[in-house]
């Protein structure tokens, strides 16, 4: 599966880093949800970074960055059967 999106900005007037909510479902498997965050986000630091790691957030480090607006990331998500 591939996902193509535009890299979001963080919420205005907030300490929350930019993120994309990820929800994956498949018949016969438990649903999976997390957040995709960006390593280069200046808001992703300190306790916010620690919480993201503890909660299983996916923190993107570009594998390919042709420009700040054209980056590629890959992750493997394994669903658990019900």
Average pLDDT, the chain: 88
pLDDT at residue 68 is higher than 70:
no
- Give the span between the Cα atoms of 32 and 67, in whole angstroms: 30
- The pTM of the full predicted model, rounded to 2 decimals, is 0.78
Question: Which letter does DSSP use for residue 60 in this model?
Answer: E
Task: Collect all residues with Cβ–Cβ distance below 8 Å to 43 and sequence separation of at least 6.
Answer: 10, 15, 16, 17, 18
pLDDT at residue 52 is higher than 70:
yes
pLDDT at residue 23 is higher than 70:
yes
Nearest by Cα to 42 from 21, 62, 14: 14
What's the average model confidence in pLDDT over 42-51?
A: 94
When comparing pLDDT for 62 and 31, which is higher?
31
Q: What is the pLDDT of residue 76?
A: 86
């Amino acid at each position: 599966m591939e996902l193509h999106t535009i890299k979001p900005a963080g919420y205005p007037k907030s300490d929350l880093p930019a993120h994309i909510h990820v929800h994956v479902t498949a018949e016969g498997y438990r649903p999976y949800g997390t957040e995709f965050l960006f390593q280069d986000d200046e808001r992703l630091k300190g306790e916010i970074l620690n919480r993201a790691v503890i909660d299983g957030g996916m923190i993107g480090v570009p594998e390919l960055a042709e420009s700040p607006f054209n980056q590629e990331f890959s992750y493997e998500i394994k669903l658990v059967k019900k």
